[in-house]
């Protein structure tokens, strides 16, 4: 399946989400959603705003926030808040993963380690908890950043 086709499918899911609850289809919203869906990296609100403003400079930041909140409610996006203070949206991951972040250049690497996931469940149950979700972020410096300074 082509990338465009997969974006189309996600857009359809979003339209369905909207129409099911009497929400409307609008040009600004469509621009935000499309720009978000066509970007594969983690996207900050500011970067997303810049992208949509290239197509329509009148679009305000509130519209971007509102569209992203809808996308999160529709389970098409997740919001990540990092320990560095920045936050970013990513497309709803098909498989769970955690993040490795470079404190130098901001690069974000996704990873998954089943053995860790199992240990987390085991730790939780040892204390009588049942886990809903977790947050695991590793912060360090990538090779390039260590070289450059």
Partner DNA sequence: ATGGGTGCAAAGCGTTTGCAACCGG
Partner DNA sequence: CCGGTTGCAAACGCTTTGCACCCAT
Note every long-range contact of 30-34, with CB atoms under 8 Å and residues 24 or more positions apart, other chains counting. 31/55, 31/56, 31/59, 32/59, 32/63, 32/64, 32/67, 32/68, 33/67, 33/71, 34/7
**According to CB under 7 A, which one of 62, 115, 127, 128 is a site residue for DNA?**
62
Q: Spell out the residues 6+ positions from residue 49 whose beta carbon is closer than 8 angstroms to its own.
A: 59, 61, 64
Q: Which residue stretch of 6-14, 23-31, 96-104, 129-137 sits at the interface with DNA (rule: CB under 7 A)?
A: 23-31
Give least dist CB 31 to DNA, A. 8
Using the rule CB under 7 A, is 65 a contact of DNA? yes
Binding mask 52-81 for a second copy (x = CB under 8 A): -----------------------------x
Q: Spell out the residues 6+ positions from residue 48 whose beta carbon is closer than 8 angstroms to its own.
A: 32, 35, 36, 39, 64, 68, 89
Give least dist CB 135 to a second copy, A. 5
Sign of CA dihedral 56, 58, 64, 67: negative
Using the rule CB under 8 A, is 140 a contact of a second copy? yes
Using the rule CB under 8 A, is 96 a contact of a second copy? no
User: What does 51 interact with, of DNA, a second copy, none (CB < 5 to 8 A by kind)?
Assistant: none
Residues forming the site for a second copy (CB under 8 A): 81, 83, 100, 102-103, 109, 111, 113, 115-116, 119-120, 123-124, 127-143, 146
């Amino acid at each position: 399946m082509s990338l465009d086709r997969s974006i189309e499918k996600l857009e359809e899911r979003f339209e369905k989400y909207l129409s099911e609850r009497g929400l409307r289809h609008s040009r600004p919203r469509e621009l935000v959603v499309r720009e978000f869906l066509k970007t594969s990296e983690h996207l900050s609100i500011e970067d997303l705003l810049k992208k949509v403003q290239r197509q329509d400079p009148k679009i305000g930041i509130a519209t971007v926030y509102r569209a992203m909140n809808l996308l999160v409610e529709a389970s098409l996006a997740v919001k990540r808040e990092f320990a560095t203070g920045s936050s970013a949206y990513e497309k709803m991951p098909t498989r769970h993963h955690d993040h490795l972040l470079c404190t130098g250049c901001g690069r974000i690497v996704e990873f998954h380690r089943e053995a860790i996931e199992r240990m987390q469940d085991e730790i939780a149950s040892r204390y009588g908890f049942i886990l809903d979700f977790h947050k695991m972020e590793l912060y360090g410096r990538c090779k390039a950043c260590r070289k450059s300074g």
